[in-house]
Chains A and B, each alone.
Chain A
Amino acid sequence: MQVFKLCLKILKKNIPTLLIYVIIFIGIATMMSADAAKEQSDLLFTGSKVNLAFLAEEDTPLVQGLKTELAKKANFVLLPDEKEALQDALYFRKVSYILRIPEGFSQSFMEGGNVQLEKTVVPNAFSTAYFDLSINQYFNTAKLYVEQFENLSQEELVQYLKSDLNQTTVVELADGAHPRKRIFANNFFNYLAYSLMAILILGMSSLMLVFNDKNLRQRNACSPLSNASFNQQLILFVLLFTGFTWAVMVTICLFFSFNHGLDTNAIYFLINSLVFSVCAASISYLIGLVVKNANVIPAVCNVVTLGLSFFSGVFVPMELLGDSVLKIASFTPTYWYVAANNHIAALRQFNLTSLQPILNCLLMQLGFALAFFTIALVLSKKRKYE
C-alpha cells in the first residue's frame, strides 16, 4: 500500500488549505441558509396586527364584542374624529384601517336589516384584506345566530360569538415536515455544491500533479509495482477521499439542518449529495490530469466551482436566473444537483410520480460523472504513451 500511504502524506501537506474551505463553507452556509430560511418561512404565514382607528358612534354589547374580537388582530390607535386628522393618520401610516360604526348599527343588525360599516383604508395593503375577513367572519357568524334564534339579546349573541371565535385550528402538514428546517437544509445542501467541489478539486489536483510528473511516473514504472496495483491504490484513495469529504460535509449539513432528527427528505438530500460528490470527483480527477502547474490549481478551482455555482442556482435562486442562463446551466452537473435539491425540499409525498424528477436529476449527474471519468481515462491513457 505504498502508493496509498504516499497519497495520504501528500494530502496531509494540503490539509491546511482544505480546512480553510471547510471553515469558510460552515460560516457562509450557516449564515446564508439561516437568513434565507427565515425570509422564506416568513412568507408562508405569520400573524401580525393592524393599526386600527375604531370610531364607534354607539356603545352597544355587539360593538363592544366586535372591539374585543378585533383587539386580537389590531392595535387600537386613538384619533380625534376629524376628517383632516384621520386622513393625515392614514397618509403617514399611523393607521392602515379606519373603521366607523354608525349610530343605530347594532339595532338594525339585530333586526336583520341590511346595514353597512364604513371603512377607510390604505390602498392596496394586503393587511386590510386580512382584516376585512376578520370583520366579515364576526358578523357572518353573528348573522347565523340572529337568524336562528328569535329574541336573542345582544349580550347572549356576544357570548355565543366569543365562544365560537375562540375556536382555533392547528394546521399541520401531512408529512409533519418543518418547512423552515427544510428550506434551511435546501440552501445548505445547495452551498455544498461549491465547497465540496472546491475541496475535491484542490485535494485531487495536488495529488494528480505529483503523480503526473514524468520523472516520477517513469521511476515508478521501473519498480516491480504493477500498473494495476498502482491504479487500484490510487482509485481506492480517490474513493475514500471523496467519501470522507462527503461524510464530513454532510455531517456538518445534517448537524445544522436536522439537529432534531432526520426525515425522509434528509435521506434524499444525502443521496443527491453523494451522487454529486461522485460527479465532483470525476471533474476533479479530470482537472488533476489537465493542470500542470501547482500555482494554477487555486485559480482553476475558483473559476470552475464559482462559475458552476453562480449560473446553476447555488448562490442565486433558479427562479431569478434567466431562461437562457438555465439552458446553458443544464449542461453542467451542478444544475441538476441544485434542481434535485429544490425538488427534494418541495417533496411531500414519496411515490414514484413525485420522485421521478429527482431520479432524473440523479441520472443526469451520474451521466456527467461517467462522461468526465471516460474523458479522464482517455487522457490518462494517451499521456501514458507520450
Chain B
Amino acid sequence: MIVHVKNLVKRYRELLALDHLSFTVDDREVFGLLGPNGSGKTTAINCLLALLAYDKGEIKIFGRPMTPESYELKRQIGIVPQNVAVYNELTVYENIDYFCGLYVEDKKLRKEFVAEAIEFVGLNDFTDYYPKKLSGGLLRRLNIACGIAHKPKLIILDEPTVAVDPQSRNKILEGILELNRQGATIIYTSHYMEEVEQICSRIMIIDKGRAIATGTKEELKAMITLGEKITIESQYITETQLSELRALPNVISADYKNKQLIIKSGKGSNNLEIVLDAIKREKIQFGKIYSELPTLNDVFLEITGKQLRD
C-alpha cells in the first residue's frame, strides 16, 4: 500500500472541509479523486502533502507517517499542483532543472532526467522560452514536467487539465498513463468525470469532504439502480402515453421535457427493445432515439441528488 488515509478531519473555522475521509492507494494504481468544485479534493491533497495541518486522522505514505519534516518521503513524491507553480524568471529548461535539483543532487543524473522530462512532455522546441511566452497548454505541460522530472514513485496531479485545450488535454492524459506504465503510482484529482473514467483504475467520489463511493468505475456504476438511459426525441406525447411507458417492466422513470423523452431503466436486458415496442404500440412519433449506459455523473446524482457539475 502506497498511501493510507484514515479518518481525516479538517476544519476551516465552522466549515468542515474533510469529514472523516478515508482511502488507500495501492502500488501502481491510478487513483482518481472525483468531486465537484469545493468538495475537498485539493484540501485532501494538501493534507496528504503536509502543506496543511489537519484536526484529526492519520496519513501514511510508503508506510510512514507524513509530516512537514518527512523529507525522505517527499523525495519519492512528485506533485503537479492545480495552479501552475513555475518561476517566470527562469526558462523552461531552468525551471525543470531547478525543481529536479531539489530532489536529485547528482548533476549528471539530473541533466539526464531533465532531458527526459522535456522529451516526455514534448517541450523540446521551447526549452529557452520563458513561461510568459508559453500558451496555457504548454504551461500546464511545463508544470507537469517540473513535477515528474525526478522520477517519483508517487505522483499527485491536482486538476492538471484545468483550462487546457482538448488536444493538450489528451496529450497530458496519455502522458499520465505512460508514467503509470513506467511504474509510478498516480493520484489524480479532477471534476471532469470523463477524464477520471478514462485513466483511473479506481475512483473515489467525494462531496462536502466526505467519501460517498469508492471503487472501479464498473463497481461504482453497479452501486446504483440505473442500468440504462434511453432518450427519445419527440414533438408531442400525451399524458396517457407517458403513463403507459412508466408502466413498462424495469422502467424506473419516464419524463418528457424540452421535446425529449428520457426513460431510465433498471439493470436487465432488452430494455431498449421493450421501450421500442411500446412506442410502436402507442404510435408515438419520434426522430432520434439513443441509449446510454450510466456515467459517474449518474452515480453522483443518484447518491447525492445533485449533478456533479452543480
Contact between A9 and B94, CB atoms less than 8 A apart: yes
Q: Looking at the complex, which one of A5, A218, A219, A226 makes contact with B69 (CB distance below 8 Å)? A: A226
**Nearest neighbor of A14 in chain B, beta-carbon distance:** B89
B71 at the interface (CB under 8 A from A): yes
- Residues of A near B99 (CB, < 8 A) are 219, 223
By the criterion CB–CB under 8 Å, are B71 and A224 in contact?
yes
| A369 to B145 alpha-carbon distance, docked (Å) | 42
Rounded to whole Å, the gap between the CB of B54 and the closest CB of chain A is: 14
Let me know if A219 and B90 touch, CB within 8 A: no
A222 B49 Cβ-Cβ under 8 A:
yes
- A236 at the B interface (CB under 8 A): no
Residues of chain A contacted by B65 (CB below 8 angstroms): none
Within 8 A of A (CB), among B89-138: 89-90, 94, 98-99, 101-103
Name the A residues within 8 Å of B102 (CB-CB).
2, 220, 223-225
Q: Which residues 49-96 in B have Cβ within 8 Å of A in the complex? A: 49, 51, 68-69, 71-72, 74-75, 77, 79, 81, 83-90, 94
CB <8 Å contact, B87 and A216 = yes
- Name the one of B46, B69, B94, B103 contacting A223, with C-beta atoms under 8 angstroms: B103
Interface size for chain B: under 10, 10 to 19, 20 to 34, or 35 or more residues? 20 to 34
- Give the chain B neighbours of A220 by CB distance below 8 A: 102
Residue with the highest number of chain B CB atoms closer than 10 Å, among A5, A213, A216, A219: A219
Q: Are A226 and B79 in contact (CB under 8 A)?
A: no
Contacts of A227 in B (CB 8 A): 68
Instruction: Decide if A383 is an interface residue (CB 8 Å cutoff).
Output: no
Contact partner, B85, options A6, A13, A219, Cβ 8 Å: A219
B146 to chain A, nearest CB (A): 8
Are the CB atoms of A9 and B68 closer together than 8 Å? no
A227 to B51, CA, bound (A): 13
Interface residues of A in 68-104 (CB under 8 A from B): none
Is there an interface contact between A6 and B98, defined as CB atoms closer than 8 Å? yes
Shortest Cβ distance from A165 into chain B, in angstroms?
A: 74
A6 touches B90 (CB 8 A): yes
Interface pair B84/A9, CB less than 8 Å apart: no
A6 pairs with B87, CB closer than 8 A: yes
**Given known contacts A2-B102, A9-B94, A222 and B79 CB-to-CB distance under 8 angstroms:** yes
Q: A216 to B71, Cβ gap below 8 A?
A: no
**B81 near A218: Cβ-Cβ < 8 Å:** yes
Contact yes or no, A2 B101, CB < 8 A:
yes
- CB contacts under 8 Å to B, within A1-45, are 2, 5-6, 9-10, 13
- Whether A318 is near chain B, meaning CB under 8 Å from some CB there, is no
Q: Which residue in chain B gives the minimum CB-CB distance to A206?
A: B89
In the bound assembly, the distance between CA atoms of A10 and B99 in angstroms comes to: 15
Collect the chain A residues with CB atoms within 8 Å of residue B89's CB.
Answer: 9-10, 13, 210
- From B46, B75, B85, B87, give the contact of A224 (CB < 8 A): B75
- Judging by beta carbons under 8 Å apart, are B85 and A218 in contact? yes
Given known A-B contacts A225-B102, A226-B69, A216 and B75 have beta carbons under 8 A apart:
no
Chain B residues near A5 (CB, 8 Å)? 98
B98 touches A216 (CB 8 A): no
Binary per-residue interface labels of chain A (151-189) against chain B in the complex, 1 for a CB within 8 Å, 0 otherwise: 000000000000000000000000000000000000000
Beta-carbon contacts under 8 Å, B208-264 to A: none
CA distance A215 to B85 in the complex (A): 5
Min CB gap B210→A, angstroms: 25
Q: Which residues 221-243 of A have a CB within 8 angstroms of B?
A: 221-227
Complex-state Cα separation, A216 to B84, whole angstroms: 9
Contacts of A6 in B (CB 8 A): 87, 90, 98
Residues on the B chain within 8 Å of A218, using CB: 46, 51, 81, 85
Q: Give complex CA distance A210, B88 in Å.
A: 9
Q: How far is the CB of B93 from chain A (nearest CB, A)?
A: 12
Q: CB within 8 A of B68: which of A13, A210, A213, A221?
A: A221
Chain A residue nearest to B76 (CB atoms) is A224
Nearest to B70 among chain A residues (CB) is A224
Q: Are B94 and A219 in contact (CB under 8 A)?
A: no
Q: Are A224 and B72 in contact (CB under 8 A)?
A: yes
B90 near A9: Cβ-Cβ < 8 Å: yes
User: A193: shortest Cβ distance to chain B, in Å?
Assistant: 29
Question: What are the 8 A-B residue pairs with the smallest beta carbon separation, nearest first?
Answer: A219-B85, A223-B102, A224-B71, A215-B85, A224-B75, A2-B101, A224-B74, A222-B79
Interface residues of B (CB under 8 A from A): 46, 49, 51, 68-69, 71-72, 74-75, 77, 79, 81, 83-90, 94, 98-99, 101-103, 146
A-B contacts, 25 listed (Cβ < 8 Å): A2-B98, A2-B101, A6-B98, A9-B89, A210-B88, A213-B85, A215-B81, A215-B85, A216-B85, A216-B87, A218-B46, A218-B51, A218-B81, A218-B85, A220-B102, A221-B49, A221-B51, A222-B49, A223-B103, A224-B71, A224-B72, A224-B74, A224-B102, A224-B103, A225-B102
Task: Kindly list 13 other residue pairs between chains A and B, CB separation below 8 angstroms, not including A10-B87, A219-B146.
Answer: A2-B102, A6-B98, A13-B89, A215-B81, A215-B83, A215-B84, A216-B87, A219-B79, A219-B85, A221-B49, A222-B51, A223-B99, A224-B103
